[in-house]
Amino acid sequence: MTPETKERIDQLVKNNKIFVFMKGSKLMPQCGFSNSVVQIFNTLGVPYETCDVLADPEIRQGIKDYSNWQTIPQVYISGEFVGGCDIAIEMYQSGELQQMVEVALAS
């Protein structure tokens, strides 16, 4: 990963309280896993931003190196890597994700 790509990812993650690297956009997810994450955040009714990794090959590979996580989507809250689709679903079902989001938005 180039220093420029790392800096771009750093800025996206740090400048947004909830950020999702995904395939497609929140208006048109391009895979089922990305769609599941979008549905979770839409259900929570919280503001979040996304980056379409399909439109940016450098980010698509760079985010895997950045997080040391090989699958997409990837969820970041308050600058911290939370996980992918399965982890987001588990955390949502347990109520942990809602708490994490509330804390992030209150800070």
| CATH code of 41's domain | 3.40.30.10
Q: Please give the single-letter amino acid code of residue 39.
A: Q
With bands split at pLDDT 50, 70 and 90, how would you rate the model's confidence at 1?
confident
Write down the pLDDT at residue 75: 97
Quick: pLDDT tens for 14-62. Answer: 999 999 999 999 999 999 999 999 999 999 999 999 999 999 999 999 9
Place of tokens 């979770």: 40
Tell me the whole-structure pTM to 2 decimals. 0.94
Mean pLDDT for 61-85 is 95
Q: Which domain holds residue 54?
A: 3-106
DSSP string, 22-67: ESB-SSSBSSHHHHHHHHHHHHHT---EEEEGGG-HHHHHHHHHHH
Q: How many domains does the chain have?
A: 1
Q: What is the pLDDT of residues 5-25, one digit of tens each?
A: 999 999 999 999 999 999 999
* Burial of 89 per CB tally in 10 Å (0-12, 13-18, 19+): middle
